[in-house]
């Protein structure tokens, strides 16, 4: 996960947990405008899924007709949606990695919670 997405998670309230400095899960150091340093957590997949809670349903690898590949994280609002497993732009997020897809879904869920 890149720094920009990790920073968006932090700003959305994602728990900041320190990880061992082992690639690819190294955390980022961040400096604010006052040169105060802080940690920007680079969460692992299980932390992201857990943070989505009951709103997380499916993580799948995808390949489009254009040849593009990636991952889709999906949440369903109702039992009917889950049974049909219809994946749309309204209920899923795409990412180059599983972590990126679930992180984007987490951010969408947080944004939707603010609107309600």
Q: Which residues of the chain have pLDDT under 50?
A: none
pLDDT in the model for residue 38: 75
What is the SS3 assignment for 62?
strand
Number of domains in the chain: 1
Q: Compute CA distances 56 → 35, 36, 65, 67, 102, whole Å.
A: 37, 35, 26, 26, 8
Taking only the tens place, the pLDDT of each residue in 40-70 is: 888 999 999 999 988 788 899 988 778 889 9
CA distance 65 to 112: 30
pLDDT in the model for residue 33: 52
The residue range of the domain holding 98 is: 3-115
Tell me the pTM.
0.79
């Amino acid at each position: 996960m890149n720094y920009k997405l990790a920073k968006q998670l932090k700003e959305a309230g994602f728990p900041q947990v320190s990880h061992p400095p082992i690639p690819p899960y190294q955390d980022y150091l961040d400096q604010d405008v006052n040169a105060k340093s802080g940690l920007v957590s680079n969460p692992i997949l299980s932390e992201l899924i857990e943070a989505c809670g009951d709103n997380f349903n499916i993580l799948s690898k995808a390949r489009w007709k254009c040849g593009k590949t990636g991952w889709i994280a999906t949440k369903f609002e109702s039992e009917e949606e889950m049974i049909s497993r219809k994946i749309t732009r309204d209920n899923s997020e795409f990412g180059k990695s599983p972590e990126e897809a679930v992180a984007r879904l987490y951010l969408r869920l947080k944004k939707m919670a603010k609107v309600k």
